[in-house]
Chains A and B, each alone.
Chain A
Amino acid sequence: MSSRDLILGRVRRALADVPRDDTPYEQAIERGYLREHGGRSVEQTVDLLAENLADYRALVHRCAADELAPTIAGLLAGHGSTSVVLPAGLDAQWLAASEVTRVPDRAEGTSGELDRVDSVVTACALAIAETGTLVLDGGPDQGRRRITLVPDHHICVVRVPDQVVSSVPQALARLDPTRPLTWISGPSATSDIELDRVEGVHGPRTLEVVLVSGE
């Protein structure tokens, strides 16, 4: 007998005492929890996102669409970056005001090459206000997962209010599970030393979030 059949057989025997129940799954679970916590206006939701991002030590910046390029250029310069990796589908205009060396996100590129790049600029799939979370889904303006991981400085642009949802349940409903998803809530951190939170381990130690409004 294969281990698969062995395990499935054990499961069925283990459940011999359990009465059969054919309630459809949608009705089987009592989902008495909230779809979002508290009522907020659109502006308040964006404010909450900014507040929660900052609470976990992301650096939050806000600007209008036409200020985005100078804002990004300023952040790269402020970090002292000389190179930046960019997803293939990122709006070229975003980098229009910066002189730093552009490194494309290529399948053939190596992790070692990425390790020598100072910064990465991406968009995101959405952001969650209640938890201060950015979600990347590998879309053309976000690139492969590793580009937001290996460089030490991540600038992530969130279009507000369109890309902002209030809560985790709202976020999951908008995401596509077949895409590789990375949820980011602040820069990398650890609580492994005396259960005290310290920012900055393996992921980018500096996370800058630009909340850009208007088109």
Chain B
Amino acid sequence: MSGGTFVGMPAFPKAAHEAVNNPTLRGNLRHATHTIRAKRAVAVAELDDWAALREAGKQIKDHTLRHLDRYLVQLEESVTAAGGIVHWAADADEANRIVTDLVKMTGESEVVKVKSMATQEIGLNEALEAEGIHAYETDLAELIVQLGKDRPSHILVPAIHRNRGEIRDIFAREMGEWGRPAPEGLTDTPAELAEAARLHLREKFLRAKVGISGANFMVAETGTLMVVESEGNGRMCLTLPETLISVVGIEKIVPTWQDLEVFLQTLPRSSTAERMNPYTSMWTGITDEDGPQTFHLVLIDNGRTDTLADEVGRQALRCIRCSACLNVCPVYERAGGHAYGSVYPGPIGAILSPQLRGTASEIDASLPYASSLCGACYEVCPVAIDIPEVLVHLRERIAEGGPVTREGNKVVLKPAKGHAAERAAMRAARWAFSHPGALRTGQRLASRTRRFHPRSLPGPGKAWSDTRDLPTVPAEPFRDWWQRTHGGKDTDK
């Protein structure tokens, strides 16, 4: 299962190198992201109050984060009053332990799962497997990833890197290993592939005693949890089993029932470009004789409070996991989701992973640089997360060091070692730019030696000249022309 984890990922540029040069992957991603991009724009344009919805969504989330302690306690009370049992997990290990114990208490050895980013993030499936509990992913894309012993590459559509032909092959090859085999003569039409998944998973839904989910939102005042989905696998997992365990990040709270009116308009249009997704389930504790009669809510921190402590970076916690930023990102489109080395790929991943996990690993330290800062992500974000701002802020933490919070403790990061040459160059440039005379001397030197400039550069400059020609240095910089023609005074023309 080494293919199934992100441990030991190389830095982003190295991981992206392969993807950029894989024509099938490039084609799959281009096709999928361009399709959804255009549709999203249409769905959003239907609402002439989009800007106001976006602003309200931002304010609701900011307000919640600002008073998160109060709303967490309120949520706990509401869920408990409605018959649920609330657990708290400081990190992934603790969350996995809690869930594993809860499943074991039921005496079951298999669970059905609704697609959930939180359980991906903590590696719940692997933890359950280690204890002899089989977790079946039921979302179509998650199923494709699980059967293909693959890693997710997109928040909403984890198998976005696969085209229909590849999916057909995975189903035909693997379904029999996990349960009901794929029908004979399965073709690659999406309708037939969806039918194969329906047949394969139905027996699992009908016998499942334990369901595991995440939640898109939790309402503090009522204790209501909400899952938005399309296929009905969510409804299956949330209503057929006897026991439901929901694993949710502490930032998923909204204060009031009314707040859902904002996100139920912005989330579907941002993620699948639909006016409304096919199915949304809302449940408040347990309901007599309808659905699971035991409900556990596991609230996880796992780096969220550390992120909350960063006054620039905390806006990342507003994220509602719509994935609009991935779909518009030119870097994601070319590098693919795996290069981000996290269950959170794309622009939001580039600011979430280094905050949730810290920047000690090679991949996490390279993620803030995995962007041209073009700003398309910020433009589409339905809760107005200024992703470029956070990226630059995280670059600063790496390049210059500075205060961060890790596992609740304030520490001061040292400037990263790998950036020493860059730091020296930046300082030298700053010195030259602070001394116009020195800048001018440098410009003149460049102009005078222009005939000897190489077409390609050595060292780090090679990264430029491998694919792009260098500009030719002009005979004189502008300032020399200006001085010659204007002489500091208004002369000719």
Contact = CB atoms under 8 A, between A and B. Distances in A.
Given A10-B305, A172-B261, A203-B279, A180 B55 contact: no
B88 interface: yes
B55 A181 contact: no
B230 A190 contact: yes
Contacts of A9: 408
Contacts of A184: 278-279
Contact of B284 (A30, A177, A193): A177
A164 to B, nearest CB: 15
A193 B232 CA distance: 16
Contacts of B232: 149, 188, 201-204
Contacts of A204: 232
B264 interface: yes
Contact of B262 (A33, A111, A185, A196): A33
A41 interface: no
Interface in B233-259: 233, 235-236, 239-240, 250, 255-259
Contacts of A4: 76, 88
Given A177-B282, A202-B202, A192 B309 contact: no
B127 interface: no
Given A30-B59, A146-B239, A182 B280 contact: yes
Interface in A33-78: 33-34, 37, 52, 56
Interface residues of A, number: 73
Interface in A111-134: 111-112, 115, 128, 130-133
A183 B276 contact: yes
A177 B160 contact: no
Contact of B190 (A6, A182, A196): A196
B69 A12 contact: yes
A191 interface: yes
Contacts of A33: 49, 52-53, 56, 262, 265
B302 to A, nearest CB: 10
B73 interface: yes
Given A14-B308, A189-B278, A195-B32, A25 B194 contact: no
Contacts of A215: none
Contacts of A191: 36, 156-157, 230, 272
Given A11-B308, A30-B55, A193 B278 contact: no
B69 to A, nearest CB: 5
A2 B277 CA distance: 39
Contact of B290 (A15, A145, A194, A202): A145
Interface in A99-158: 107, 111-112, 115, 128, 130-133, 138, 144-146, 149-150
Contacts of A128: 276
A75 B265 CA distance: 32
B275 A132 contact: yes
A184 B18 CA distance: 42
Contacts of A193: 140, 164, 167, 190, 193-194
Contacts of B408: 6, 9-10, 13
Name the residue among B33, B202, B279 with the largest chain A CB count within 10 angstroms.
B279
Interface string B28-41: 10011101100000
Contact of A177 (B76, B202, B219, B235): B219
B284 A190 contact: no
Contact of B206 (A37, A56, A112): A112
Contact of B68 (A15, A21, A29, A145): A15
Contacts of A115: 202, 206
A200 B239 contact: no
Contacts of B230: 188-191, 201
A149 to B, nearest CB: 5
9 contacts: A3-B88, A8-B69, A18-B66, A179-B287, A183-B282, A185-B275, A190-B231, A200-B194, A201-B140
Interface of B: 28, 31-33, 35-36, 46-49, 52-53, 55-56, 59-60, 63, 66, 68-69, 72-73, 76, 82, 88-90, 94, 138-141, 144, 156-157, 159-160, 163-164, 167, 190-191, 193-195, 197-198, 201-202, 205-206, 219, 222, 224, 230-233, 235-236, 239-240, 250, 255-262, 264-265, 272, 274-284, 287, 289-291, 299, 301, 305-306, 308-309, 311, 314, 405, 408
